[in-house]
A and B are shown apart, each in its own frame.
Chain A
Amino acid sequence: EVQLVESGGGLVKPGGSLRLSCAASGFTFSNAWMSWVRQAPGKGLEWVGRIKSKTDGGTTDYAAPVKGRFTISRDDSKNTLYLQMNSLKTEDTAVYYCTTELGYCSSTSCYWGPPDYWGQGTLVTVSS
């Protein structure tokens, strides 16, 4: 059974930093593309960014609102995904979900699939 368990959320002041972790189990983590999706209170879903598997280059992509402030990384030896969030703003307040992403690359092209399995999320509150 696939399990994704986020941790590290909490209250932080504007301009501060926070690192979220996502412990994965039940699948071959090193082969998986992973992503973060957030949801502000009472609002819709917002894709934050992804990291490809190392086999597919291990590169990252980010949504415009977080690019340059957030960094996604992975430790395949620990089956763990990370989201480092710097220069936090009040509008970053949200539940942050860790997800698998159904993407892969062949020798000729890549398939950018959707978020598939989701964790239960961790709440990040940015407030003074």
Chain B
Amino acid sequence: SYELTQPPSVSVSPGQTARITCSGDALPKKYAYWYQQKSGQAPVLVIYEDSKRPSGIPERFSGSSSGTMATLTISGAQVEDEADYYCYSTDSSGNHRGVFGGGTKLTVL
């Protein structure tokens, strides 16, 4: 079955740039989406269609995709950005099943 691979953890100091990667064989042909999930809460979409930011999401969140890798960048990470981040895409089957990456724990301290 199709998989999206993320690093388990990323750690930065406040004000630094955090980069979280997501690799998948179908990403050259499929959009990547990114979610933020804080402890005990439902996920929130922070990036859609590789690089677009929903309204209400701070400008420090950005996304990019090249080849088989998508990247979520948080420029000037803040303490409140500490959370789990998941990439999402669909597989290349005719059913376009949804797939989440394993998640990355971002620590900002």
Using CB atoms and an 8 Å cutoff, list the residues of chain A in contact with chain B: 35, 37, 44-47, 50, 61-64, 97, 101-102, 110, 112-116, 118-121
What's the Cα separation between A77 and B101 when bound, in Å?
Answer: 35
Residues 53-109 (chain B) with a chain A CB within 8 angstroms: 84, 86, 88, 90, 95-103
Question: Do A63 and B97 contact each other (CB < 8 Å), given the known contacts A45-B35, A115-B88?
Answer: yes
- By the criterion CB–CB under 8 Å, are A45 and B86 in contact? yes
Which residue of chain A has the shortest Cβ distance to B37 in the bound complex? A45
Question: Do A114 and B1 contact each other (CB < 8 Å), given the known contacts A97-B42, A121-B42?
Answer: no
What's the Cα separation between A115 and B95 when bound, in Å?
Answer: 16
Question: Do A50 and B43 contact each other (CB < 8 Å), given the known contacts A112-B90, A114-B33?
Answer: no
Q: List 23 A-B contacts (CB under 8 A).
A: A35-B98, A37-B98, A37-B100, A44-B84, A44-B101, A45-B88, A45-B100, A45-B103, A47-B88, A47-B99, A61-B95, A63-B97, A63-B98, A64-B1, A64-B97, A97-B42, A101-B98, A110-B96, A114-B45, A114-B88, A115-B43, A115-B45, A116-B45
Q: Chain B residues with Cβ under 8 A from A114's Cβ?
A: 33, 45, 48, 88, 98
Q: Chain A residues with Cβ under 8 A from B103's Cβ?
A: 44-45
> What's the nearest-Cβ distance from chain B to residue A59, in Å?
9
Using CB atoms and an 8 Å cutoff, list the residues of chain B in contact with chain A: 1, 33, 35, 37, 42-43, 45, 48, 84, 86, 88, 90, 95-103
- What DSSP secondary structure best describes chain A's contact surface? strand
Q: Chain A residues with Cβ under 8 A from B1's Cβ?
A: 64
Point out which of B42, B84, B96 has the most chain A C-beta atoms below 10 A from its C-beta: B42
Q: Chain A residues with Cβ under 8 A from B37's Cβ?
A: 45
What's the Cα separation between A121 and B43 when bound, in Å?
Answer: 11
Which residue of chain A has the shortest Cβ distance to B1 in the bound complex? A64
- By the criterion CB–CB under 8 Å, are A47 and B100 in contact? yes
